[in-house]
Structure 1
Amino acid sequence: MSSYKSVAVVGAGRLGTHILSALAATEKISVILLSRPGSSKTAPPGVLVVPVDYTDINAVSSVFKEHKVDVVLSTLGHEGVGMQKSLADAAKLAAVKLFVPSEFGSPTHGHTVEAYKAKNEIAAHLKSLGIPSTRIYTGCFMEFLPFIASYADGKITIIGKGDAPISYTSLADIAGFVAYVLTTVPVAQLENRILRLEGDRASWNDVAKLFKASVERVESFTGKDAEMRTGLLTLFETGAGSTGWDEPNKRDGSGSEAAGSANSLWPGHHWQTIKEVHSL
Structure 2
Amino acid sequence: MSAYKSFAVVGGGTVGLPIVNALAEQNVYVLLLSRSGSSTKTVPSSVQVIQVDFNDTTAVAAVFKEHKVDVVLSTVAPTAVAVEWSLVDAAKLAAVKLYLPSKYGFPAEGQTEGFQAVKNQIVAHLKSVNIPSTIVYTGLFVEFIPWLVGYSEDDKKFKLVTKGEAPMSFTAIADIAGFVAYVLTKLPPSELEDRVLRLEGERSSLKDVAIQFKTSVEHVDSAKITGAGSEYKIVLQNLIETGAGSTGWDDVKKVEGSGSNAAGSANALWPGHKWKSIKEVYKL
Give TM-score, length-normalised by structure 1. 0.97
1:4–1:71 contact (8 Å) kept in structure 2 = yes
Q: Distance in 2 between matches of 1:71 and 1:218?
A: 44
Residue 149 (structure 2) aligns with: 149
Residue 34 (structure 2) aligns with: 35
Residue 78 (structure 2) aligns with: 78
Residue 7 (structure 1) aligns with: 7
Q: Distance in 1 between matches of 2:34 and 2:97?
A: 21
1:104–1:136 contact (8 Å) kept in structure 2 = yes
Aligned CA-pair RMSD: 1.1
Find the residue that maps to 2:263 and give its secondary structure.
coil
Q: Percent identity?
A: 57
Residue 275 (structure 2) aligns with: 271
Residue 97 (structure 1) aligns with: 97
Residue 167 (structure 1) aligns with: 169
Residue 229 (structure 1) aligns with: 233
Q: Distance in 1 between matches of 2:176 and 2:195?
A: 16
Change beyond 3 A, Cα 1:110–1:41: farther
Residue 168 of structure 1: how far off its partner (Å): 0.5
Residue 193 (structure 1) aligns with: 195
Q: Distance in 1 between matches of 2:156 and 2:7?
A: 43
Residue 79 of structure 1: how far off its partner (Å): 2.6
Find the residue that maps to 2:169 and give its secondary structure.
strand
Residue 214 of structure 1: how far off its partner (Å): 1.1
Residue 48 (structure 1) aligns with: 48
Residue 249 (structure 1) aligns with: 253
- For residues 131-150 of structure 1, the C-alpha deviation after alignment (integer angstroms, 9 at most, x for no partner) is 00011100111011111122
Q: Distance in 2 between matches of 1:67 and 1:89?
A: 17
Residue 244 (structure 2) aligns with: 240
Q: Distance in 2 between matches of 1:69 and 1:82?
A: 22
Q: Distance in 1 between matches of 2:158 and 2:79?
A: 28
Residue 37 of structure 1: how far off its partner (Å): 2.4
Residue 183 (structure 1) aligns with: 185
Residue 219 of structure 1: how far off its partner (Å): 3.3
Residue 61 (structure 1) aligns with: 61
2:169–2:246 contact (8 Å) kept in structure 1 = yes
Aligned residues: 279
Amino acid at match of 1:55: N
Residue 275 of structure 1: how far off its partner (Å): 0.7
- For residues 59-90 of structure 1, the C-alpha deviation after alignment (integer angstroms, 9 at most, x for no partner) is 21111111010000010002321111111111
1:12–1:41 contact (8 Å) kept in structure 2 = no
Find the residue that maps to 1:201 and give its secondary structure.
strand
Q: Distance in 2 between matches of 1:52 and 1:107?
A: 30
Unaligned runs of 5+ in 2: none
